[in-house]
Amino acid sequence: QKEVEQDPGPLSVPEGAIVSLNCTYSNSAFQYFMWYRQYSRKGPELLMYTYSSGNKEDGRFTAQVDKSSKYISLFIRDSQPSDSATYLCAMSEDSGNTPLVFGKGTRLSVIA
């Protein structure tokens, strides 16, 4: 079983839709949970990070972590064509200087 599972998609939604992206994981030691956005042939950029369980909101983006279920989610409200990218979840046991374990990424297309 892989440490982090993420449905690769592709996921195609109309502009304005609410998008739900999810990851599951098996390592209960993960404490830091991140979502990255990666455009084609570019490096990932951090969208949000969450420590332990709970919700975090930033503009149109909401990250949720449920450690009891080993399940994390990213919601995108009022999706825009510019949100079209690959979204990667990532996790680590410790902060900063520890390697991240990435999900495979979900390719999202928002159609105008």
List residues binding other proteins (CB under 8 A). Answer: 6, 8, 32, 36, 41-46, 49, 51, 88, 95-97, 99-105
For residue 43, the minimal CB distance to other proteins (Å) is 4
User: At which residue do the structure tokens 């892989």 appear?
Assistant: 2
**Given phi > 0 = left and psi -120 to 50 = alpha, else beta, which region is 70?**
left
Of the pair 42, 77, the CB lying nearest other proteins is at 42
Of the pair 16, 51, the CB lying nearest other proteins is at 51
For residue 99, the minimal CB distance to other proteins (Å) is 5
For residue 98, the minimal CB distance to other proteins (Å) is 8
Longest dimension (CA), the chain: 41
For residue 109, the minimal CB distance to other proteins (Å) is 14
Of the pair 5, 67, the CB lying nearest other proteins is at 5
Of the pair 80, 95, the CB lying nearest other proteins is at 95
